[in-house]
Amino acid sequence: MVGAFEQTLLAIMMAFIMLGMGAALTPQDFKSSLRRPFGLFVGLVSQYGLLPLIGFTLALLLPLSPEVKIGLIIMSCMPGGTTSNIFTYFAKGNLALSMLMTVNSTMFGVVLIPLLIVLYAAGLGISVPADNIVRTLIVLLVPVAIGMALRRWNANVGAIVELAGGALGIFFLLFIAVSWVPRNWQFLLSTPPSVYAAVIGLGLLGFLFGYLFSALLKLHPINAQTISMEVGIQNGPLALAIVALSFTGLQQQQIIAVPALYSLFIVINASLLTIWYRRINDRSRQKLPDSLL
């Protein structure tokens, strides 16, 4: 399903994506995060509180193999990625909040991701190699630190690296659609409906509950939309990298199907949601007096 060449390509792409994420960060970003903590707190709780619980619930309720359940738990415990920032931009959401949420969830993820994966996997009666997952996360954060150093050294170089990292995130999704799907067509046809329900449902429920939770706490609708996008669009490349570097053999191939399928369908669902949010925001702006625009 995912060969040695693809795993090597994935590792290289992931390094550049994380490098680009690091290059997008400045000390001012962290200061802004501290000045506007409530929206980020809501986003963090949604990211690591709601979505892993949704993934765990789907794993309990749907007839899935243990490997698919592991993949679903891993996918639901991922941070946001640069792709969510791009969709937020086109939806006319709060891009600054989206980027800071991505940063926060990635940094907190070093501790929370392995902890939540082990916790929820144990709840399903499944063991996972927690040590491998921790080592993978630490290794993947090295490019983030390098990217931050590049941005501090030269803002122009940092901007180029940031742009390249975001472009690679989009390229990865297109790579899944154009390359992986045709070569695994028989696998897609033989995949049980319950697996599709799990990977598609994870994204859709992330969008829904991310928005409802934010609206319940009286956040501005645009911020609620932004948190919705950030929670629903998980870092698929990171999930694939964790699976590829933490598992081996047939088990790896069975687990890796979940982030691969998730990455494929989240593009479709996020695109439709982006169009809807953009129309809502355009109509809201039209209702405002010109003096307030």
The pTM score is 0.81
pLDDT score recorded for residue 39: 81
Of 280, 268, 228, 226, nearest in space to 88 by CA:
226
Q: Which CATH architecture has domain 4-278?
A: Up-down Bundle (1.20)
Residue 178, class by beta-carbon neighbours within 10 Å (0-12 exposed, 13-18 middle, 19+ buried)?
exposed
Amino acid at 259: P
pLDDT score recorded for residue 291: 39
For residues 54 and 76, the answer to whether their CB atoms sit within 8 Å is yes
Please give the DSSP secondary-structure letter assigned to residue 191. S
Delimit the domains of the chain by residue range: 4-278
Helix (H, G, I), strand (E, B) or coil at 92: coil
pLDDT score recorded for residue 137: 73
Of 81, 68, 67, 47, nearest in space to 172 by CA:
81
pLDDT by position in tens, the chain (length 293): 555 555 566 666 666 666 666 666 666 655 655 666 788 889 889 999 999 999 999 999 999 999 999 999 999 999 887 778 778 888 888 877 887 888 788 778 878 888 899 899 988 888 777 777 777 777 666 777 777 776 677 666 666 666 666 666 666 666 666 666 677 777 778 888 999 999 999 999 999 999 999 999 989 898 999 999 999 998 887 888 788 777 877 788 788 889 888 988 888 899 899 999 998 887 776 554 443 33
Amino acid at 175: F
Q: In which residue are the tokens 């996972």 written?
A: 128
pLDDT score recorded for residue 196: 94
